[in-house]
Amino acid sequence: MPLDPEVRRIIASSPPIPADLSSLSAQELRRNADRGMLSLYTGKEPVGSVEDLSVRTRDGSIGARIYRPAVDGRPLPLIVYYHGGGFVYYSVETHDNICRLLSTLSGAAVLSVGYRLAPENKFPAAAHDAYDSLVWAIDSAGDLGIDPRRIAVAGDSAGGNLAAVASLMARNSGLRGAPRAQALVYPVLNLADMSPSRFEFSEGYMLEERMDRWFVSQYLRDPSEARDPYASPLLAEDLRGLPPALILTAEYDPLRDQGEIYAHRLRTAGVDAVATRYLGMVHGFVRYYWVLGAGRDAISHVAGYLGRVLRGE
C-alpha cells in the first residue's frame, strides 16, 4: 500500500535530523521531542481518575501515573505501560492521552512507568525499572485496587522493548501469574538488527537508520551489550513459557521485520502470538492518533486484546 497521504504530510512537516549527530545533546533533544509530542493534542481524553505515584525499585524510586477507568467494581485488571522514545526521551506526561484512552477502552487500570532515561542511565537501568515496576504493582495490588492475577504489560517502540524484556525477566525469575499478556507496538527487539526492512526504510520514513544507531549508542555502555537478551529480547535463545503476545508493526518502519520475526519465533516456541501490520504507516504513527485514524485503531486494537485476555475471554 502507498504511504498514507496524512503520514506523508507529517513527515514533510517534521524537523530535519541534524547533519552532525555527534554534537546532538540528549537533553536538548528531549526538551524538543517532549514539547513536540505534547503539541499534538488539543485536549485530554476522559478517564475515571488519574493519580501520580512513586514506585520503589532496586535502585531507589521512579515516578509513575495510574489511570483508572470510569467503571464499577474492584479490583481492576492492570496494564503496566512503558512509553517509547528511543530510551532517551518522552515521559509519562507525553503519553498521558494514550494511557487515558487505553484505560477507558480496555476497562483496565493503566500504570504508566517513568523509567530512567539514557544517556544519564545506561543499560540495564531502564530494563531493571521495567521489571521492578511490574513486581511493585503485584506487591502493591491491594493499595492500588487491582487484581494481581490480572496484569499485562504493553509499550511502544523502546517501551515495547521494555515490555518484552519485563516478560522475559518475569519468566526467568519465576514470577508467577504475571504478566498475563504482552502488547508490543512497533517494538525495537534487536539492537543489532540487520533485517531487510532496516535497510529498505533507512531514510525518509520518520525513524532513520543513523538516528536509530544514535539511540543505541546512548542506551548501551558498549556495543557488545546489544547481544544481551535483556537489551535485545529477539536474541533470547528460549522463548518458551512467555505470555501471549500482540505485536503491531508499521509497513514503512525499519523495525517492522524484527517485530514480525519475534511473533514467528514466539509461535514456534508454543506461545500464542499475533502480528498485525498497519499498511501505509510509519514508525511512531500511534502518537499521531489525534489526526491519524490508524493510530486510534491501533490503540483500540491493543485495548481490545488486553481487555479480553484480562477478563479471561
What are the pLDDT digits (tens) for 241-264? 999 999 999 999 999 999 999 999
**CATH code for position 82:** 3.40.50.1820
Q: Which of 83, 95, 128, 283 is catalytic?
A: 283
Q: Which of 177, 116, 157 lies closest to 167 in space, CA to CA?
A: 177
- Provide mean pLDDT across the span 49-53: 98
- Provide mean pLDDT across the span 151-157: 99
Which of 18-32, 45-59, 76-90, 151-165 shows the lowest per-residue confidence on average (mean pLDDT)?
18-32
pTM: 0.97
**Is the predicted pLDDT of residue 18 greater than 90, yes or no?**
no
pLDDT for position 169: 99
Which pLDDT band holds residue 156 (cuts at 50, 70, 90)?
very high
Domain enclosing residue 51, as ranges? 5-310
pLDDT for position 115: 99
What are the pLDDT digits (tens) for 267-303? 999 999 999 999 999 999 999 999 999 999 999 999 9
In the numeric block, which cell numbers belong to residue 281?
504507516
**Is the predicted pLDDT of residue 20 greater than 90, yes or no?**
no
Please report the DSSP string for 150-203 in residue order.
EEEEEEETHHHHHHHHHHHHHHHHT--S--S-EEEES----TT---HHHHHTSS
In the numeric block, which cell numbers belong to residue 245?
503476545
Integer angstrom CA distances of residue 77 from 96, 102, 106, 179, 306: 19, 12, 9, 11, 10
What single-letter amino acid sits at 23?
A: S
- Provide mean pLDDT across the span 36-63: 96
Q: Which of 106, 157, 167, 232 is catalytic?
A: 157
Which pLDDT band holds residue 43 (cuts at 50, 70, 90)?
very high
Mean pLDDT, the chain, rounded, equals: 96
In the numeric block, which cell numbers belong to residue 80?
503496566
Which of 22-26, 122-126, 286-290 shows the lowest per-residue confidence on average (mean pLDDT)?
22-26
**Is the predicted pLDDT of residue 29 greater than 90, yes or no?**
no
Is residue 156 annotated as part of the catalytic site, yes or no? no
pLDDT for position 100: 99
What are the pLDDT digits (tens) for 66-96? 999 998 778 999 999 999 999 999 999 999 9
**Is the predicted pLDDT of residue 24 greater than 90, yes or no?**
no
pLDDT for position 161: 99
- Provide mean pLDDT across the span 129-145: 98
Is residue 34 annotated as part of the catalytic site, yes or no? no
SS3 sequence of 218-236: HHCCCHHHHHCCCCCHHHC
Q: Which of 232, 253, 257, 301 is catalytic?
A: 253
pLDDT for position 30: 92
Domain count, the chain: 1
What are the pLDDT digits (tens) for 201-233? 999 999 999 999 999 999 999 999 999 999 999
Cβ atoms 288, 10 nearer than 8 A: yes
Which pLDDT band holds residue 26 (cuts at 50, 70, 90)?
confident
Q: Which of 246, 189, 233, 184 lies closest to 212 in space, CA to CA?
A: 189
Is residue 157 annotated as part of the catalytic site, yes or no? yes
pLDDT for position 17: 80
